[in-house]
């Protein structure tokens, strides 16, 4: 199947990395459905820009923690575009706190979205992706960096990293790849908000390339996994400039 026949669902597609992933896959000729959880305006902005640039895009809403809404999300994409070939699961939240100070509510919120959401989306993707499809989950380099205050977030992303290669094996014979990307420190509001400049500078200097990642750095890897990378399967690709 050529890229211009592939239908892509990008969850969290209006976020810092998600919107660049959506734009990159559309530029590669894929039809992109930009998912949003609540506010439709940012997702519609991404879709409109893709269309203005000559691509094909739409939007769809769902709470990724709700099984029925996730099923309905895939139903909507199939009804509008005929099927689903690629799912890119960028939806997630990050709440930082030392373990001893984190509230159970914050822990549960993060794991509901990051782990339960990834599970439900992976489950539907495994059931619904067409032959030649690809599922791309999002893990995180912080699982290796082991930075203070990231305990619960890193644990949620470690769960995503764990389910990815097992699901790849469970889909034996389907010609569907299952991989994860694990961005390092990336210049998005998701990462930058609330951090002192000194912390940001130190993280930028940690990579041998001496800069923070950009959303396009991750989008480039996602585009590879979504299209030509048919012999990469069950892997977590660390996209972090060599920080670890």
- 10 Å CB burial of residue 74 (0-12, 13-18, 19+) is buried
Residue 36 catalytic? Answer: no
Count of other CB atoms within 10 angstroms of residue 45: 14
SS (H, E, C) 5-47: HCEEEEECCCCHHHHHHHHHHHHCCCEEEEEECCCHHHHHHHH
Number of H helices, E strands in the chain: 10, 7
Distance of alpha carbon 110 from alpha carbon 94, whole angstroms: 7
Distance of alpha carbon 137 from alpha carbon 185, whole angstroms: 17
Distance of alpha carbon 237 from alpha carbon 125, whole angstroms: 20
Catalytic residue among 36, 138, 150, 153: 153
List helix spans (H) across 117-150.
117-128, 142-145
User: Which among 227, 236, 237 is positioned nearest to 28, based on CA atoms?
Assistant: 227
Distance of alpha carbon 128 from alpha carbon 190, whole angstroms: 30
Which tokens in the block code for residue 4?
């211009």
Catalytic positions:
153
């Amino acid at each position: 199947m050529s890229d211009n026949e592939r239908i892509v669902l990008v969850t969290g597609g209006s976020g810092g990395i998600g919107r660049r992933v959506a734009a990159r896959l559309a530029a590669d000729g894929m039809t992109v459905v930009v998912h949003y959880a609540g506010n439709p305006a940012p997702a519609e902005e991404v879709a409109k820009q893709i269309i203005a640039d000559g691509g094909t895009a739409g939007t769809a809403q769902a709470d990724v923690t709700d099984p029925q809404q996730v099923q309905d999300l895939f139903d909507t994409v199939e009804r509008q575009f005929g099927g689903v070939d690629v799912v890119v699961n960028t939806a997630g939240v990050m709440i930082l706190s030392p373990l001893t100070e984190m509230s159970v509510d914050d822990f549960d919120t993060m794991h509901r979205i990051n782990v339960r959401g990834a599970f439900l989306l992976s489950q539907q993707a495994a059931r619904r992706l067409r032959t030649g499809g690809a599922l791309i989950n999002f893990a995180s380099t912080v699982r290796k960096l082991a930075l203070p205050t990231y305990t619960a977030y890193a644990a949620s992303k470690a769960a995503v990293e764990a389910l990815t290669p097992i699901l790849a094996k469970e889909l034996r014979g389907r010609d569907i790849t299952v991989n994860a990307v694990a961005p390092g420190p990336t210049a998005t509001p998701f990462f930058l908000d609330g951090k002192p400049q000194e912390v940001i500078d130190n993280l930028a200097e940690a990579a041998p390339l001496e800069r923070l990642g950009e959303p396009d750095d991750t989008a480039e890897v996602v585009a590879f996994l979504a299209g030509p990378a048919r012999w990469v399967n069950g892997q977590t690709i660390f996209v972090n400039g060599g920080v670890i």
